[in-house]
Structure 1
Amino acid sequence: MQPTVSSDISPLEYQPAYEILDETGLADEGLDQSRSRHKDNLQSTLRKISETTNRQSAYSTRSVHTRSHGLIYAEMEIYDNLPAQFAQGMFASAKKLPLVMRFSTVPGDILNDKLCTPRSLAIKILGVEGERLSGSEQATTQNFLFVNGSSFLSSSVQQFLSNLKLLANTDNTPEFKQFLAQILQATSKLIQSLSGGRERLMNNEGQPETNILGETYFSQDPILYGNYMAKVALVPVAPSLIALTNKPIDVSFASDSLKKSVVDFFITHTAEWELRVQLCTDIDKMPIEDSSVVWSEDVSPYLAVAKITAKPQIAWSHYRSKVVDSGMMFSPWHGIKSHRPLGSVMRLRKITYEMAKHANAMADSNIIAEPRDLDDLC
């Protein structure tokens, strides 16, 4: 049964003034040399990470979110009779749409599952109508990217670039990453024991060895939501998924522990998530240009607009990996203008998605394209 969606939200309408319309995050539009330098540095950093991961993998890989642990065929049901402020963009009317879900982990290099890292989820929805974003004019897909932390590591482009450089400079030293992950994991467990609740310290490293399917995933960065601005979350609602929240996994399988837990689940279980939307109601408390700020649910709660259902299936195979990991690119810039990513960090990150698409295609002579159907996954 469709949940009741409250209409007691008064969202702000989008205004260009809410964004810093400069690709580097620098306010002075005259700093062309700095803008170019940031672009060059970002491209160089991502290229270095890609080259390292390609050397470690049998086929081309991404600069980040390298390892897929689940490749799932699913269906989205957009709820009927949503209040006007939530019936925006692709959610304007009730319908069912097919999609693919890609569960992954964040670092660019190939790490053992015992190294606890943040979990990510990308979804690609097919059959989405609307005016397209530049670069995806011929597609009919809408991509959303999520991480199991409600805020982004970097509040600015400069911080984002600095963090990527650190990752690039350490990607050849797994011993250091293992040491760092262990320290952060231990810190997380200490905070959890003191506070009685699971803290989101591990937005970027130190994720406990828990089941990837029990996580709640957040867009972190805001997007346009029709006339408004929003963040999006994917929340497990099926009892079988909720039971996996914070549930430890058997890491004795080393490099395939997360994947095995996903595959084992989908042998017999059906999974259900809700797609929930948080509308911006206060630009000071819910800024567009600082993704490290968690938008308070006391100010504006997440409310359900759709349900995603995935039935029992083969949740990962080498064939699916070839179709999805090598043949698809997940970018929030592939979609409709009604859900354009917002903020200077996301505008600069667009460069990384395009560069990764080109590198992936060149490495294996792959054809990277937005799918028209998911027959290959059924």
Structure 2
Amino acid sequence: MQQTDQFVVSPLSYQPDYEVVATTERTCQQHLQQTLHKLSEISSQAATHAARSVHLKSHGLLTAEMQIYDQLPPAYAQGLFARPQTLPLIMRFSTVPGDILHDKPGTPRSLALKVVGVEGERLPGSEDAITQNFLFVNGASFLSSSVQVFLNNLKHLACSPNTSTELRHFLAQLFRSTAHLVESLKYGQQSQLNHLYQSQETNLLGETYISQDPIMYGDYMAKIAVVPIAHDLIALSNKPIDLFASDGLRKSIVDFFIKRTAVWELRVQLCTDLQTMPIEDATIIWPEEHSPYIPVARITAKPQIAWSPYRSRLIDDGMLFSPWQGLASHRPLGSVTRLRKMNYEMAKNLHALQENGRICEPKHLDDLC
């Protein structure tokens, strides 16, 4: 475990008035619901099973263990991480767009964690579950700060079925090129952090994944990250892979786990200043000089079949990954996440209808072993 005593921060205790609901936020909900329903319809035409509106294509479906470190400083020993324990979890690597694209377009790559065996007061709607879900993207900031911009971006993706694939390929290139320009203007050529829509021609296992949207962290507010620490993973950072094959990303993960073990650290960045670390604007990268990412747990995934049709049926078809499925002490924060809550609820209902009600939160991972 990395020593944390050298880091001294004074995190802000959460106050309800830190969350500010814009007057336009509620008016966007109906439009967003229509857009997401359209995306699900488009995705369903490209899939033989119930389709998500986003994050449809999985590249890796792993079982792993999370070892929560002992002797954490009090501010970091919160919620799920309040005491040392080892818990099983699922790791799902996916692609953000809703349709099943060739891997070549530069679309954002995502990681979802579903930790099993979690105890504590739960968020409304998840009272019967014992899981905690965390969502990450391989970019430090969300491209859309406001719910209106987020909605407009989704509307671009919800195009007609006849042109969806071509348009999404074009949009992926456009987002990537625009992000490179913004990146160079804002941070210069030596930016420490990759943007959400950067070129995606490198191995997913070498990426650092960041929550982007803040969450409650017990008494405080935080962002979290999953960082590769095993030598075999670090060696894959920025390593190009063959994306000319339609499933190049999936193949790279499957090949890795034939014989090798992967180890990541889950790290937490506590909010210390609302001016430089805002709750409502997910485009702002929280400065690490104000509050560094501190290790709180280690995630280990041993050699396994990292993707199979069987695992896909159990996980892609039988589970949803929502940050609103978890502990009250880790409630999602921010306008974009509040608006996306409706997406998760609608997706669960639509998914369950298409899959004859087989959506569930797992009680164990025995079926995946």
TM-score w.r.t. structure 1 length? 0.92
Q: Contact 2:180–2:198 (CA<8 Å) still a contact in 1? A: no
Q: Contact 2:133–2:326 (CA<8 Å) still a contact in 1? A: yes
State the distance in 1 between where 2:317 and 2:179 align: 34
State the distance in 1 between where 2:193 and 2:361 align: 37
1:334 is paired with a residue whose SS is coil
**Is 1:146 paired with 2:145?**
no
1:237 match? 229
- Would the alpha carbon gap of residues 184 and 347 (structure 1) be closer, same or farther in structure 2, given more than 3 Å must change? closer
State the distance in 2 between where 1:207 and 1:368 align: 34
Q: Which amino acid aligns with 1:360?
A: H
1:51 match? 41
1:108 match? 98
**Is 1:76 paired with 2:70?**
no
State the distance in 2 between where 1:309 and 1:340 align: 25
- Would the alpha carbon gap of residues 56 and 90 (structure 1) be closer, same or farther in structure 2, given more than 3 Å must change? same
State the distance in 2 between where 1:105 and 1:62 align: 11
State the distance in 2 between where 1:170 and 1:116 align: 21
Q: CA deviation at 1:257?
A: 0.6
Q: Which amino acid aligns with 1:90?
A: L
| Aligned partner (choices 307, 315, 333) of residue 316 of structure 1 | 307
Q: CA deviation at 1:198?
A: 7.0
2:194 match? 200
**Is 1:12 paired with 2:12?**
yes
1:362 is paired with a residue whose SS is helix
Q: CA deviation at 1:121?
A: 0.3
2:91 is paired with a residue whose SS is strand
**Is 1:91 paired with 2:69?**
no
Q: CA deviation at 1:178?
A: 2.5
| Aligned partner (choices 291, 296, 315) of residue 282 of structure 2 | 291
Q: Which amino acid aligns with 2:48?
A: A
- Would the alpha carbon gap of residues 333 and 189 (structure 1) be closer, same or farther in structure 2, given more than 3 Å must change? closer
- Would the alpha carbon gap of residues 237 and 19 (structure 1) be closer, same or farther in structure 2, given more than 3 Å must change? same
TM-score w.r.t. structure 2 length? 0.94
State the distance in 2 between where 1:178 and 1:264 align: 27
State the distance in 2 between where 1:53 and 1:329 align: 16
| Aligned partner (choices 189, 209, 213) of residue 217 of structure 1 | 209
2:149 match? 159
- Would the alpha carbon gap of residues 276 and 114 (structure 1) be closer, same or farther in structure 2, given more than 3 Å must change? same
1:253 is paired with a residue whose SS is coil
**Is 1:345 paired with 2:336?**
yes
Q: Which amino acid aligns with 2:209?
A: Y
- Would the alpha carbon gap of residues 233 and 56 (structure 1) be closer, same or farther in structure 2, given more than 3 Å must change? same
1:281 is paired with a residue whose SS is coil
1:290 is paired with a residue whose SS is coil
Cα deviation, 1:39-85, whole Å, max 9, x if unaligned, reads 21111000000000001101111100010000000000000000000
1:77 is paired with a residue whose SS is strand
Q: Contact 2:25–2:335 (CA<8 Å) still a contact in 1? A: no
State the distance in 1 between where 2:217 and 2:125 align: 20
**Is 1:354 paired with 2:345?**
yes
Unaligned runs of at least 5 residues, structure 1? 27-33
Q: CA deviation at 1:35?
A: 5.7
Q: Which amino acid aligns with 2:343?
A: T
State the distance in 1 between where 2:175 and 2:126 align: 39
State the distance in 2 between where 1:211 and 1:189 align: 19
Q: Contact 2:139–2:194 (CA<8 Å) still a contact in 1? A: yes
1:369 is paired with a residue whose SS is coil
1:131 is paired with a residue whose SS is coil
How many residue pairs were aligned? 363
Q: Which amino acid aligns with 1:219?
A: S
1:38 match? 28
1:135 match? 125
1:308 is paired with a residue whose SS is strand
- Would the alpha carbon gap of residues 305 and 374 (structure 1) be closer, same or farther in structure 2, given more than 3 Å must change? same
1:152 is paired with a residue whose SS is coil
Computed over aligned residues only, the root mean square deviation of the Cα atoms, in angstroms, reads 1.9
Q: CA deviation at 1:38?
A: 1.7
